[in-house]
């Protein structure tokens, strides 16, 4: 293995780790009827790591907390009174399908564990568990979250964009320095110039592609007529942490569909009446594919509204009082297709990044070969070009580190 290969590591994994570690200030709900007696030291250790941890001794109490509080992960014991962990998990899945759930089981529950994972449980642990066990389970669960994956990919692309721009600038310095070496009798210089210009163009192209991707793929959630509500404020905060763009409006300024990806509408009157009827008809005619979630005010007949709304193409609904967890996960659910589309676009760009990085590396090697043959009399200009090439190689190594985890183990050098 050469020196270059020895410097490489799985930076994609590192970015994911940093993203998850940053989330250690997130909220965890532990559901265990004996948590305070059997897991007191574990709870203290998790809190020292930075987790904001809440405890419920049964499934009913846990659902009460879910209605008013946002949680990143649920950790539940299987053996509980009244409702066991598996039935509790299934109820969570039916209400909050995107919520991460980790189950703790006793020894000999391998069949239960297999069933839990088959039904999209995040992870399971055999008791007794340590704080380290739970910490690692939380981290691994979050890594499989599409929003976490997207966040990590976007950070990689942003860093790669910056480094390609820097490489393009260094390329311009290469052919600027090469221009100062006379062409007379120098076949080597004639090779350096087109190679450096091609490399500059390639680096600029992929940086611009990443920039365009970032501008086109911002996810925006638009809120209509929303009330002042502390639970809604929590939802907004969580969406902003995912780097979603948020906007607000009224019935009198309908949004442009091309600018938003989902709409949340606080409805105080029936859909069949007044301004609401006009607004709803306009939405369906102009934005037939736009995901729309209705929050029904207390004074509205929510059951009748839900039937009308869903029959006419609505995406989802809920009633006041606003449940933080329920609204947050309903928004994530309708945005899931958009997130997956953006992940696909990001991976395609990573592939382009990799190819450009490979070709640029080859250009660097070829230019260095030609430089070795140029007359030593052009020392200053030659050293200037060599310095620029070394800078480009350094940038390409950094890009390689960033994308290496995308296709780990392929033995590829740039």
Per DSSP, the residues of 379-408 read: HHHHHHHHHHHHHHHHHHHHHHHHHGGGGT
pLDDT above 50: residue 406: no
* C-alpha dihedral sign at 184, 185, 188, 191: positive
Cis status of the peptide bond prior to 128, with omega within 30 of 0: yes
DSSP-assigned states of every residue in 231-294:
HHHHHHHHHHHTT-EEEEE-TTSPPPGGG-SEEEEEE-S-TTSHHHHHHHHHHHHH-TT--EEE
With residues binned 3-state (H G I as helix, E B as strand, rest as coil), the percentages for the chain, rounded to 5, are 65, 10, 25
The percent of residues in the chain predicted with pLDDT above 90, rounded, is: 2
Q: Among 82-86, 351-355, 366-370, 402-406, whose mean pLDDT is lowest?
A: 402-406
Q: What pLDDT does residue 178 have? A: 62
Does position 249 have pLDDT exceeding 60, yes or no?
yes
Average pLDDT over residues 372-397: 77
Domains of the chain: residue spans and CATH = 8-144 (3.40.50.2300), 220-343 (3.40.50.2300)
Residue-wise pLDDT for 155-201, tens only, equals 788 888 888 888 888 888 877 766 665 554 456 666 777 888 888 88
Provide mean pLDDT across the span 275-288. 81
* Two tokens, residue 33: 């009827």
Smallest CA-to-CA distance from 57 within 79, 73, 72, 42 is with 79
pTM metric for this prediction: 0.60
Q: pLDDT (tens digit, 9 = 90+) per residue, 289-308?
A: 788 898 888 887 777 877 88
Q: What is the pLDDT of residue 102?
A: 92
């Amino acid at each position: 293995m050469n020196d270059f290969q020895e410097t490489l590591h799985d930076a994609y994994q590192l970015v994911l780790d940093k993203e998850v570690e940053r989330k250690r200030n997130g909220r965890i709900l532990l559901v265990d009827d004996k948590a305070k007696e059997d897991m007191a030291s574990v709870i203290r250790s998790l809190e020292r790591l930075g987790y904001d941890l809440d405890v419920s001794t049964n499934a009913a109490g846990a659902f009460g907390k879910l209605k008013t509080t946002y949680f990143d992960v649920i950790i539940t014991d299987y053996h509980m009174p009244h409702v066991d962990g598996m039935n509790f998990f299934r109820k969570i899945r039916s209400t909050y399908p995107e919520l991460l759930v980790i189950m703790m089981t006793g020894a000999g529950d391998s069949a239960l564990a297999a069933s839990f994972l088959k039904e999209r449980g995040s992870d399971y642990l055999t008791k007794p568990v340590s704080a380290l066990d739970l910490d690692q389970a939380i981290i691994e669960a979050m890594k499989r979250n599409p929003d976490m994956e997207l966040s990590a990919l976007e950070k990689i692309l942003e860093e790669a964009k910056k480094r390609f721009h820097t490489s393009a600038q260094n390329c311009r310095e290469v052919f600027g320095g090469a221009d100062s070496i006379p062409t007379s009798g120098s076949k080597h210089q004639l090779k350096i110039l087109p190679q450096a210009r091609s490399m500059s163009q390639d680096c600029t192209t992929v940086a611009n592609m990443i920039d365009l991707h970032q501008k086109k793929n911002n996810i925006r959630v638009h809120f209509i007529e929303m009330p002042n509500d502390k639970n809604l404020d929590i939802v907004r905060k969580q969406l902003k942490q995912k780097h979603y763009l948020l906007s607000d409006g009224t019935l009198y300024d309908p949004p442009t569909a091309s600018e938003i990806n989902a709409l949340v509408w606080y409805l105080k009157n029936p859909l069949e009446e007044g301004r609401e009827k006009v607004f709803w008809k306009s939405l369906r005619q102009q934005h037939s594919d736009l995901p729309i979630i209705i929050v029904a005010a207390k004074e509205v007949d929510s059951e009748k509204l839900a039937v009308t709304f869903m029959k006419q193409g609505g995406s989802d609904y809920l009633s006041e009082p606003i449940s933080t967890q329920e609204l947050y996960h309903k928004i994530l659910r309708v945005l899931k297709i958009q997130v997956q589309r953006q992940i696909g676009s990001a991976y395609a760009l990573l592939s382009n990044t990799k190819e450009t990085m490979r070709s640029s590396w080859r250009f660097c090697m070829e230019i260095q070969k030609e430089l070795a043959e140029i007359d030593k009399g052009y020392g200053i200009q030659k050293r200037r070009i060599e310095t620029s090439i070394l800078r480009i190689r350094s940038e390409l190594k950094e890009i390689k580190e960033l994308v290496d985890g995308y296709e780990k183990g392929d033995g590829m050098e740039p």
